[in-house]
Amino acid sequence: MRFIYGFVMLLLLAACGQEGATQAAFAPVDPVALGAKKARVCMGCHGPKGVSRIASYPSLAGKGEAYLAEQLHAFKHGTRENPMMSSIAINLNEEDITHLAAYFAAQSMPGVSE
């Protein structure tokens, strides 16, 4: 009897787990929100929300999404060189690049009010 009870519980748990996985697979993905989490490491140089306070580090806020992704790819693959950016970008995967580009592109450019 315990075996049957345990087996039924296992089936129920598996079914619940699959339903949760299915719901997660269809949950909307917000690349800007995901990028915000990943961008924390960028703030040291590029400033909060991509608005740099240091002239030697460019502001990223409001730059085009495609442009930002292209630059991250260039740093990652060595076609654009910067010791700091290259060492960071080499560890980014395609999803990271997409999310970071979406996040910074969605931010307001310095000096532009909404």
Encoded tokens for 14 = 């598996």
Cα gap 69→20, rounded to integer Å: 32
Domain annotation covers residue 76: yes
pLDDT in tens, 35-47: 999 999 999 999 9
Torsions phi, psi of 88, nearest 5?
-80, -50
- DSSP letter for 64, please: -
What is the domain-level CATH number for residue 79?
1.10.760.10
Can you give the pTM of this predicted structure? Answer: 0.73
**Helix, strand or coil for residue 105?**
helix
Structural domain including 60 reads 30-106
Express each pLDDT in 7-52 by its tens digit.
Answer: 444 444 444 444 444 445 566 789 999 999 999 999 999 999 999 9
3-class DSSP state of 55:
coil
In a domain, 90, yes or no: yes
Q: Is residue 25 part of a domain?
A: no
Does a structural domain hold residue 20?
A: no
Tally of domains within the chain: 1
